[in-house]
Amino acid sequence: MAKFKFILAVLINLSCLWMVLALPVSAQSSGILVVDLERAYDSSKFAQAMRDAFSLQNQLLNEENSNILNALKGEELQLTEDRATLSPELFAIAAEAFDVKVQGIRKSRLQKLRLVEDQFNRLKINFFQKINPFFDEVMLEFNAAAILEKKSIVRSIDALDITDLLVQRVDQAFLANEANAKISAKEND
Q: Does 56 lie in the same domain as 119?
A: yes
Instruction: Evaluate whether 147 touches 135 at the Cβ level (below 8 Å).
Output: yes
pLDDT level of residue 189 (50, 70, 90 thresholds): low
What is the domain range of residue 90? 46-123
In a domain, 161, yes or no: yes
Q: How many domains does the chain have?
A: 2
Q: Does 101 share its domain with 138?
A: no
The Cβ-side half-sphere exposure at 57, using a 13 Å CA radius, reads 14
In a domain, 183, yes or no: yes
Residue 47 CA to residue 131 CA, distance in Å, equals 10
What number is the average pLDDT over the span 154-164?
A: 83
pLDDT of residue 187: 74
Domain boundary among 82, 100, 123: 123
Give the H or E element holding residue 30. none
- How confident is the model over 119-158, as pLDDT tens digits? 999 999 999 999 999 999 999 999 999 999 998 887 777 7
In a domain, 112, yes or no: yes
* Confidence at 182, pLDDT banded by 50, 70, 90: confident
pLDDT score of 93: 93
Query: Is the domain of 28 the same as that of 61?
Result: no
Domain membership of residue 181 (yes or no) is yes
Provide the CA 164 distance to its chain's centre, in angstroms: 18
The whole-number pLDDT of residue 26 equals 45
Per-residue pLDDT of 31-78, as tens digits, reads: 899 999 999 999 999 999 999 999 998 999 999 999 999 999 999 999
CA 145 to chain centre: 29
β-pair partners for 161: 34
Would 5 be classed as within a structural domain?
no
Chosen domain end from 94, 123, 152: 123
Q: Are residues 97 and 138 in the same domain?
A: no
CB 145 within 8 A of CB 31: yes
